[in-house]
Structure 1
Amino acid sequence: MNLTQYVDQLRQELAVAAEAGGQEARALAERLTAPLESAARLTLLNALSAAAEEITSDLAPGSVDVRLRGLDPEFVVTPPPSAEPFDAEAEYAALMAVKPPAPPASEVPDEGGTARINLRLPAHVKARVEEAASRDGLSVNAWLVRAVSAALDQPGSGPGATGGRREARGFGGGFTGWVR
């Protein structure tokens, strides 16, 4: 969205108002328009952000964000998830070429306490996880619990399995990892 036309319109309105005050007022208005341009842009951005916030509250769980690119804002609209049913089992199986995932975390029996871990993901993987969780109507945490549970329930997975494990010994030590 180009704010220049609105700032120029404000400048023109200030000049028209200054005409009524005579030559001194006109000169003062001309000197004030340059410093007021950034203040006018900031005020317009604040108004646009407030409008986007109001729209987001009506659109929830979708959202509208205002992002600044250079001097001009742009709107980013994230629509609410589609109302059509999503076959998570088929999608997961197609993407991962493995057995369907374990039932959602809400259906997994609670075995007592929970533990907290920090998980660092590459940005592109995090975006895919968030997208998949959103499609399934789950929080990222619930989706990750379900995915880990599904991976652990697969035969031949986990630390005690040797099916996919490869070890390499070389100069200065060894390397251990999992290969698909």
Structure 2
Amino acid sequence: MDLTPYVDNLRRELAVAADAGGDEARALAERLTAPLESAARLTLLNALSAAMGEVTRELAPGSVDVRLRGIDPEFVVTQPPAPEPLQEAGEPVAAATTPVPPLSPADTDDGAMARINFRLPAHLKSRAEGAAAAEGLSVNAWLVRAVSLALDGAGNTGPAARSTTPGGRGFTGWVR
């Protein structure tokens, strides 16, 4: 993207504003326009980066990045992964999965949200994306459910049990 027309427009607008102030203001504006060009370009780059950050949040899991080549930015669009094709009748099912219960009303959006940055190895990220897509969920919704199930104890639904039999042998584990 060529930023020159935008910087030139800013220069013209500054000259028009300086004309209203007389000869001294016009001379000052002419001296300031050259040093302000780099500041104007940097400000435009910051605005473009912020805008692409908002676009990326809307496109997730796709993204749009701003890269600087020379003095002009480029936009790099990363498409979200393509959904897996539906299976036709008679095709074998890849793997049986156990159904996961939906989120309870207490786990859904109650208006109070917290944002965290979550770093995940690339191989786990792709597996999480695949699992979310297979269930028709966004990755965020899938992760919220996974965390909720882990904390609420889908596999650990009770306190740890410890017992000793009369023969002195014991066992430990989780009680459902």
Amino acid at match of 1:67: R
Aligned pair partner of 1:138 in 118, 127, 148: 127
Match of 1:50 in 2: 50
**What displacement does 1:137 show?**
3.6
More helix by share: 1
User: Following TM superposition, by how much is the alpha carbon of 1:86 offset from its aligned partner in structure 2, in angstroms?
Assistant: 9.0
Q: Does 1:41 align with 2:30?
A: no
| Amino acid aligned to 2:44 | L
Taking the aligned partners of 2:34 and 2:84, their CA distance within structure 1 comes to 52
**Which residue of the partner structure matches residue 68 of structure 1?**
68
State the alpha-carbon separation in 2 of the partners of residues 85 and 37 from structure 1. 51
User: Matched residues in 1 for 2:60 and 2:71: separation?
Assistant: 28
Instruction: Give secondary structure in 2 for the equivalent of 1:2.
Output: coil
Would you identify which runs of 4 or more consecutive aligned residues in structure 1 move more than 6 Å?
A: none
Output the TM-score relative to the length of structure 2: 0.50
Corresponding residue for residue 16 of structure 1: 16
CA distance in 2 between counterparts of 1:75 and 1:86 reads 33
The answer as to 2:18 corresponding to 1:2 is: no
* Secondary structure of 2:127's aligned partner: coil
Q: Which residue type is aligned with residue 44 of structure 1?
A: L
- TM (norm. structure 1) is 0.49
Unmatched tracts of structure 2, length 5 or more: 88-93, 98-121, 129-176
Give 1:73-92 correspondences, 5 Å limit. Answer: 73-85=73-85
Q: Distance in 2 between matches of 1:69 and 1:35?
A: 21
In 2, Cα distance between equivalents of 1:66 and 1:86:
35
Q: Kindly report which structure 2 residues correspond to 1:120-135, keeping only aligned pairs within 5 A, or say none.
A: none
CA pair 86-11 structure 1, distance change in 2 beyond 3 A? farther
Unmatched runs of 5 consecutive residues or more in structure 1: 88-102, 107-129, 140-180
Give the deviation of 1:83 after TM superposition: 2.0
Q: Secondary structure at the match of 1:138?
A: helix
Shift of 1:85: 2.7
Q: 1:31 and 1:41 mapped to 2: Cα distance?
A: 18
In structure 2, the partner of 1:156 is none
| Partner deviation per Cα, 1:45-64 (whole Å, 9 max, x = no partner) | 00000000000000000000
